[in-house]
Amino acid sequence: MKALLLNNRLTSLSLIVLLWLTAAAVQAQSLPDFTNLVETYSPSVVNISTKQHKTVPGRLNRDFQIPDLPEGSPLNEFFRHFFGEGQGQDEPREYDARSLGSGFIISDDGYIMTNFHVVNGADEILVRLSDRREFIAKVIGMDKTSDIALLKIDATELPKVKIGTTYNLKVGEWVLAIGSPFGFDHSVTAGIVSAKGRSLPNENYVPFIQTDVAINPGNSGGPLFNLEGEVVGINSQIYSRTGGFMGLSFAIPIELAMNVVDQLRTSGEVKRGWLGVMIQDVTRELAKSFGMQYPYGALIAKVVPGSPSEKAGLEVGDVILKYNGTKLESSSMLQHLVGASR
């Protein structure tokens, strides 16, 4: 009887182990494999470092006397830096400020896309490829509103990315980022799409893709890939209370970015549509008062004098339900659609 019970226990244990291994195998098969994608498109991602020449004033106060502090006190360096020490410290000082970012090659003849804030104000832009070659880049054009910049390096037969679309991008879908966080070249991080069409404060024209991909300083300007190896966005911003990654990353949709790049490439500037209204969301109470089944659209709160809206006869209190045939589920959609119009 004891032997029989022992055998039954061994059989049960074996069955549990088998089920656990099977579940682990199924889970492993369901997770995406990014290795081929990284091997294929990592060479298309570049490291961008900039140098900006700056001048700072000399001592803040000529009559200030540095206090007699104990040797080795950290405050000694503080006072020397801001108030100077010895002769000649009243003269302005010059230094080179440096910053890091990422970018990606969109044509084999050297056109590179990155963020406006990565290269804005730079006196020199150095682009380093995955094969360690370095080039001084020329700015073809920049657009602050969309945070897009187009660069050009003197090279040919370069590996380029494959441009995708966000129209079929689904919330919950796997995405991958390649960039240079904190200067660590070609770092790869992955996650999922958390939301689409996100509006951020002071960013009226960009319907951001929100992800939980780990993005940190230096990732800005790098590509966001889908599982097919297509670029669907440009990693641009993070939401953080510490300056580091907190699970909220935002990417510029590739369609908007390519529209900006095409204009920068042909004319060096970007032209956008302008409606000339101030809008707000339609609340549930307002929708009920308008006889709407549920709240959607953009309520006009103000019409700018002389604007296209005034000329078209739009008035305060009107509700815009569609733009160019696209239904406005929220008021922020109107800003994005108008901004994308020529």
Give the residue numbers annotated as catalytic, written as ranges: 117, 147, 220
Alpha carbon separation from 62 to 79, 93, 113, 166 (Å, rounded): 12, 15, 47, 59
Q: Is the dihedral of CA 152, 177, 123, 263 positive or negative?
A: positive
Looking at the DSSP assignment, which residues form a beta bridge with residue 85? Answer: none
- Please tell me what DSSP assigns to residue 68: -
CA angle 275, 279, 285 (to 5 degrees): 145
Neighbours of 94 (CB within 10 A): 9
Alpha-helix runs per DSSP H in 202-283: 254-267
Distance CA 223, CA 187 (A): 12
**Contact (CB, 8 A) for 224 and 234:** yes
Distance CA 146, CA 206 (A): 6
